[in-house]
Amino acid sequence: MKRAVLQFALVLTVVSAVWGQSAVAWPEKPVPSVSERVAILDDKRINESSGLALGSRDRSIFWTMNDSGGEPCVFAIDRSGKTRAKVRVRDAANFDWEGLAMGKDEKGAPALFIGDIGDNLLLRPSVQVYQIPEPEINVPGKTVAETETAAPQLWRANYPDGRHNAESLLVHPRTNRLYILTKSEEGKSALYAFPQPLKPKESMVLEKIVDIQFPELIRAGKRPHDNCMASGASFAPDGSRMVVCTYSSLYEWILPEGKPLAVALKQPPVRIEPELLRQVEGVCYDADNITLWLTSEHLPTPLLKVKR
């Protein structure tokens, strides 16, 4: 019996070392910040905003989309909350679109990456990412441009260690490498990377980069485990920072140039407490590499700016 107890204790120690909160010194207090509800999106079709990306061709707009079961399209919104474009992705299906990121295609032109990566029931044998050229939104004579893309480039991948739910898709601006950050109600997340170069005709195997155990946190108006669930993430346009949103906090890491992500993400992040929104799932940086923008699921859909 004593031996069994010792073995069990050893297992707990190993699990704690891998997933325990001691792996990262999580901040108890948030850094000072100011939240401003800049607009309410005026387009009722955007009722489940599950990703947010800063435009590359036009830095005054953002791209967003709805999640599972929504129409396979992306919306361009401006900072007043008005829809500037609705773009349908040809030959695509929205099983559970949960992540959106701006990157580049193989020729260096701006491209949107749409992550069909949600899997609440852990049923999917693989995940997939649609890549489309960033659409042009300034169509003469039209306030809202409604267009359709050419057939997208489709990237399929499998996790190396079983099925995972995820709501965060990222593209690193320095390397153009594609990443997925997984999500769980227990706070057990991990960052996975796609191979480089991407392989269009096969299902790729993702590479696990680092485990991240998000902590529970008591905040008025939210459940403790709301802080555990990684619901969105983004790199700053210059690659110097990475932010992850949960349903109650934002966590931001500094990413020194030349330092591997696996090392940088083991350093203590800063915690930011934005204005509480119902269900934050979209976050991105502004062009200044520090101001953050958020959207939330459910109507009315807010557009929130967070400055420090």
What is the sign, positive or negative, of the torsion defined by CA atoms of 224, 230, 231, 234?
Answer: positive
If you ran DSSP here, which 8-state letter would residue 297 be given? B
Closest CA to 128 of 87, 158, 148, 100: 158
d(CA 168, CA 98): 7
CATH code, residues 25-307 = 2.115.10
Phi then psi for residue 58, to 5 deg, are -135, 105
pLDDT score for 176: 98
Domain ranges of the chain: 25-307
- Average pLDDT (274-283) is 93
- Please give the sequence-ordered ranges of beta strands (E in DSSP) within 89-173, or none if there are none: 97-104, 110-116, 127-133, 145-148, 153-158, 165-171
pLDDT score for 221: 87
Greatest CA separation for the chain: 79
In the predicted structure, residue 3 carries a pLDDT above the cut 60: no
- pTM recorded for the entire structure: 0.91
pLDDT score for 213: 97
Phi then psi for residue 244, to 5 deg, are -125, 130
In the predicted structure, residue 9 carries a pLDDT above the cut 60: no
- Average pLDDT (96-121) is 98
- Average pLDDT (80-88) is 96
pLDDT digits over 167-194, tens only?
999 999 999 999 999 999 999 999 999 9
Q: Name which residue leads in pLDDT, 193 or 308.
A: 193
In the predicted structure, residue 11 carries a pLDDT above the cut 60: no
> Cβ neighbours of residue 88 under 8 Å, at least 6 residues apart?
71, 72, 73, 146, 147, 148, 149
β-strand partners of 190? 211
β-strand partners of 305? 36, 293
**pLDDT tier at 23, thresholds 50, 70, 90:** low
d(CA 22, CA 212): 11
pLDDT digits over 209-248, tens only?
999 999 999 898 899 999 999 999 999 999 999 999 999 9
